[in-house]
Amino acid sequence: MEILQVNHPTKRVRATIPLASSKSESNRALIIQALSGNKIHLANLSEARDTQTLIKLLNSKEEVLDVIDAGTTMRFLTAYCAVTNRKCILTGTERMKQRPIKILVDALLELGADIEYVESEGFPPLRIKGFEQKKNEISIKGDVSSQFISALLMVAPILPMGLKLTLLGEVASRPYIEMTLELMKYFGIEYIWHWNEIVVEHQAYKPKIYAIESDWSGASYWYSIAALAEEAEITLLGLRKDSLQGDSVIIKLMEHFGVSTDTVEGGVILRRKPVQDKEFEFDFTHCPDIAQTIAVLCAARGIPARLSGLRSLRIKETDRIAALENELGLLGVHIVVEGDDSIIIPRSKINFEHPRIHTYEDHRMAMAFAPLGLLHEVLIEDPRVVVKSYPAFWRHLETAGFELTLRD
C-alpha cells in the first residue's frame, strides 16, 4: 500500500488554487444532457473519477455497466436506464453492493419499471429490463439519500404522465434537491414544490450552454488549511457567490474558526484572522459531505463540539462515523458517538505519536486529515483515493507549500 507523508515546513500558506469542478453538479448536468438527447453543451465538467465514469457509461453500448464506487452514478443511472428502456446490468465494487438502493428501486417499480436484483434484495447489482409508466403519483421517504429523490426528479419530465412526488417526513440534504430542481429549471423545466409535494409535468429539456461551478466540498479542505495555518491567504478559483451547492455554507461555518471569505471576480479569497476558540455545534443534515472536515478541524484546534445530522455518513464510501472514531482515537481524541446521528468531540489535544491515517477507500477521509500536516508530519494511506472527487488535490497542496513524500 502506498503511504504519503504530508507536512508543511513554514505553516504559512499563500496560494491560488484552480479548484476542482463540482462532481455533484457535473453528474446532474450529464443526466439532464442525456435526457435532452445530447442537445445541451456543458463546460468545465469535473475530472473526478465518479464523473468520468458516468460519462463513459452514458456512452457505453455494453450490457454490464460498472459504476465502481460511485454512489451518485449508480443511483442516477438506475433511474435513467429504467425510464429510457436501457436494458443493462448495473454493478460496482463490493462496497457498492453493500449500499442500499431498495427505496429508489421500489419507487421505480411502482412507476412501471421492470428491475430485478441480481444478488441480494435491496442492493446492487441490478438488472434493468424495461419501463412502461403505470402511475404518476408516488411517495418516498425524505430523510434517505437525496440522490434517490434527485434521480426521480431528473427523469420526471420525460415520463409520459409526468410525476407527483410526495416526500414523507423530514427532508435531508435539501440543498442537493434544490440544486437538482434549479438545474432542471435552467434547462427549461417547470415544476411546483409546495410543502412536501413536488410536481413535474411531462415536458422537454431545452438546449442551452452551462458551465459547471467549482466544488464547495473540495473548498472545505482549503478552509481547514486556512484555519490551521499560522498565516493564510488562499484564492480559490471558480466559486460563485450565488452557488447552487449546499456545501457553500462552509463560508459561515468557518467564521467560527477564524477564516474570512471575500468574493472577488473569478472566485473567493480566504484569510486567516485571530479568533478565540469556542464550543461549536451544528446540524449537518443538509451538508453531510463537509462533516469530516469540521470534525478533524475541531479535534486539531481542541474545540469541543457536537456534530449532528450525520445519519447518512453510515452508508457512504465507508461508515464515516466509525472511521472518524477510529482515526481520531488513534490520535488521542476519543469522540463519543450518539446513536447514528451525532458525535461529540471533547476538548483535547492531538497526539501525533502514531500519525498514520487509514483512509478506508474514502476520498474524504484522506482530504479531511491532510491539513493536519500543518501541525505535524502525517502519513496518509492509499492517497490515490482522492481521484474519486478531486484528482489534483495533492498537486494543489504542493502548490501551497506542502511537502509530500511517497512511501511504499
Dump pLDDT digits (tens) for 69-100.
999 999 999 999 999 999 999 999 999 999 99
Q: List, for residues 367-399, the tens digit of each pLDDT value.
A: 999 999 999 999 999 999 999 999 999 999 999
Whether 57 contacts 78, CB under 8 Å:
no
The proportion of the chain whose per-residue pLDDT surpasses 90, expressed as a percent, equals 91
Domains along the chain?
A: 3-20+214-407 (3.65.10.10), 23-211 (3.65.10.10)
Confidence check: pLDDT of 408 > 80:
no
pLDDT (0 to 100) of residue 340: 82
With a threshold of 0.85, does the pTM exceed it? yes
pLDDT (0 to 100) of residue 241: 81
The string of DSSP codes covering 1-45 is: --EEEEE-SS-EEEEEE-PPBPHHHHHHHHHHHHHTTS--EEES-
Active-site residue among 50, 215, 247, 289? 289
Supply the mean pLDDT for the chain: 95
Higher local confidence (pLDDT), 174 or 373:
373
How far is it, in rounded angstroms, from Cα 182 to Cα 186?
Answer: 6
pLDDT (0 to 100) of residue 98: 94
Higher local confidence (pLDDT), 216 or 312:
216
pLDDT (0 to 100) of residue 50: 94
Higher local confidence (pLDDT), 28 or 144:
28
Confidence check: pLDDT of 31 > 80:
yes
Biggest distance spanned by C-alpha atoms of the chain: 64
Confidence check: pLDDT of 317 > 90:
no
Task: Name the grid cell of 147.
Answer: 440522490
Q: Per-residue pLDDT averaged across 39-64, rounded? A: 96
Whether 402 contacts 14, CB under 8 Å:
no
Does residue 289 have an active-site annotation? yes
pLDDT (0 to 100) of residue 77: 98
Q: Per-residue pLDDT averaged across 19-36, rounded? A: 97
